[in-house]
Amino acid sequence: MGKSLVIVESPAKARTINKFLGKDYTVLASVGHIKDLPKSKLGVDIEKEFEPHYEIIKGKSNTIKELKQAGKKADRIYLAPDPDREGEAIAWHIAEEVDKKREKSLRVLFNEITEKAVREAIEHPTVLDEHKVDAQQARRVLDRLVGYQVSPILWDKVRRGLSAGRVQSVAVRLICDREREIQAFVPKEYWSITAEFEGRGGEPGFSAKLAKKDGRKIELNNEKETKEVLTELKDAEFRVSEVETKEVKRNPTAPFTTSKLQQEASRKLGFSAKKTMMLAQQLYEGVDIGEEGPVGLISYMRTDSTRISNEAIEAARAFIKGKWGADYLPGKPNIYKSKKKTQDAHEAIRPTYFKYPPESVKKYLSKDQWKLYQLIWNRFIACQMSPALIDQTRAQIAAKNYTFNASGSTVKFQGFMAVYVEGVDVEEEKEEKLPPLKKEDMLKLAGLTPSQHFTQPPPRYTEASLVKELEEKGIGRPSTYATILSTIQEREYVQKEKNQLKPTELGFMVTDLLIQSFPEILDVAFTAHMEEELDMIEEGKMQWRNTMKEFYGPFKESLEKAKKDMKNVKAEETPTDIACEKCGKMMVIKWGRKGKFLACSGYPECKNTKDFIVNEEGRVVPVERVEEMTETACPKCGKPMVVKSGRFGRFLACSDYPDCKTTLPLTTGIPCPNDDGGMLVERRTKRGRVFYSCSRYPKCDYATWELPKKAEAEA
């Protein structure tokens, strides 16, 4: 019997699997996709029922040659890319090149990369799922039709380099809509009164909030109303009128799905969705654990199911009993129901081996790999633990005809909370602990505190809350969220401010243009409906070419109309009454790479430009570009350096320019984590995205998208 060939996408995955299969198997990696639609043209023949024209990806010819040679020698070829639509498409393209007649190729699926799972998959192979391939092709063609036909219109009307996307543009719309809600929000004043009570017998004091007057909810709208209440309560006695204490059971949360992992990693670790998925892929494919070599530490990370195998449940229960004891273990395993539309082929994200608690492998993982592994481990262990028991006390305190409410809680039994508590997007008001209270107890008032408040606008989206919104509205799929979030920031439609997503002027403009010209594509319900149709194609209930035809008819009409009618922002000039100080001609408002600016109407003879603001009266007012002085001395002439902005971002330039033309990268003041004496400096990619790299480049090639905190870098 000859050797069998196993083909996966990743070299790391190949090394991990090779360890399990031995000398009768050759394990090779395709390193992702080997074929794709061409970059330079549409690559979809609309006239021939949307036939896609795939090309070998640049640089993959040698990989394909190696796979073909190994395939000829093998008795069997196991196609083992990831177990999802994307993986199915990769397997399909590999089969086309390596075993076109499908005489000896079989499909194998690994939900986790353990010896048992790999051997079982090899022993029970299946065939390529044509419906899944069709669903992936439909998504790819659909996205190509939108992206490659709408984007050039934006290049023509706004500026080159912009992009539109079937899902990304809807995500930007959600962010823009939220920002407009915030801008339109009118704060409403309201007041509260808090009563502070002294403790008794060594007990700490506690507080209660005014809730009712004459048994009805009270609303204080201004200071005058609040002072009237305070006057009425001046000589009041405060008496406990009602006390209720009850035990509340708090159940653990389900194990991670892809979107929940992205949300929690954002909340708890500050990771972007893209970073989370990159780290999860590494943990799934295999990390070197000392002498044991590569080990796949987690199950497959693209899943919307909360299902767990019986074997994993039993292993988790044994671990819990051994570490925390029988009290922390429920009588029966906790079972979590998945949503109705869930593809239940995969389990939830969980550890693959229970002999590798996070602390035991910490020295083998990068800092971020370990943080994510610990998060996955703790969430999974907690999901099989006993509920937490919390004593919740609610007290009503009477003062004349007013009622104050006090509440407090005490954790009676930690249960799963000993290991893990889910994060929240908006901070909740924490309950204090109340002293023992009995009905009719008289209380000693320490003081009444009035507070002015204003209603708050809805919060901006964070990556976590946007992922949650996209999932709830059925837009895109969890496996695509990381790419969407990354793209809309790279294209400068959205920027992060204190971890919140805020649309740029460009984001608003492009969104408004697209809504006007392509209302269906920018419609949330329509986008969600397209996702449902892709699912139906995967289930074999719809033909993908029919879906394309149904979509393309109205879309083509919108395209033709947009080419003629979409506003040409690039050519648009708004006149002003501001005279150019260089040539005397009137200045106009134009649109540029960084938004609106003032330009001389005498361009190109006069190239004078200025920034501007619109004042409270709505008048355009020029503003000078202020150079930020620094304490850094020019290494050539000793004069102070100033911060300037250029094509590739901000940099330091000598204040004596043009006599001294010295420039330096802008340092962040944070040492390079490689500990080579360099500092992290701010740089930009050709597309304008900010990143940070070592000032000693090319001697040190450290680079990162996320700026580490000073303490982390020095640790």
* Residues identified as active-site: 300
Report d(CA 270, CA 709) in Å as an integer: 11
Q: Coil, strand, or helix at residue 247? A: strand
Answer whether 634's CB lies under 8 Å from 661's CB.
no
**b/e 187-213 (16+ beta carbons within 10 angstroms → b):** eeebbebebebeeeeeeeebbbebbeb
User: Across the strands, what pairs with 395?
Assistant: 243, 406
Question: Nearest 5 degrees, angle CA 322-CA 327-CA 330?
Answer: 95
Does residue 708 have a cis bond before it (omega within 30 degrees)? Answer: no
Q: Which helix (H) or strand (E) holds 451?
A: strand 445-454
Q: Coil, strand, or helix at residue 517? A: helix
Q: Name the residue type at position 315.
A: A
What pairing do the DSSP bridges indicate for beta strands 44-45 and 51-52?
A: antiparallel
Q: Which helix (H) or strand (E) holds 530?
A: helix 524-538
Report d(CA 349, CA 302) in Å as an integer: 8
User: 451 is written with which tokens?
Assistant: 């507070």
Report d(CA 662, CA 588) in Å as an integer: 34
User: 352 is written with which tokens?
Assistant: 């693959």
Contacts 24+ apart (CB under 8 A), 42-45: 42/144, 42/145, 42/148, 42/149, 43/144, 44/141, 44/144, 44/145
Is residue 107 exposed (0-12), middle (13-18) or buried (19+ Cβ within 10 Å)? buried
What pairing do the DSSP bridges indicate for beta strands 25-29 and 4-8?
A: parallel
Nearest to 514 by CA among 505, 525, 523: 523
User: Across the strands, what pairs with 600?
Assistant: 587
Going by the DSSP 8-state scheme, the letter that residue 359 receives in this structure is H
User: Across the strands, what pairs with 146?
Assistant: none
Instruction: Output phi, psi for 54, to 5 deg.
Output: -85, 145
User: 705 is written with which tokens?
Assistant: 């998208």
Report d(CA 434, CA 343) in Å as an integer: 46
State the number of CA atoms in the 13 A half-sphere of 121 facing the CB: 24
Report the interhelical angle of 505-517 vs 168-184 (nearest 10°): 110
Report d(CA 43, CA 41) in Å as an integer: 6
Instruction: Output phi, psi for 553, to 5 deg.
Output: -55, -60
Report d(CA 712, CA 373) in Å as an integer: 19
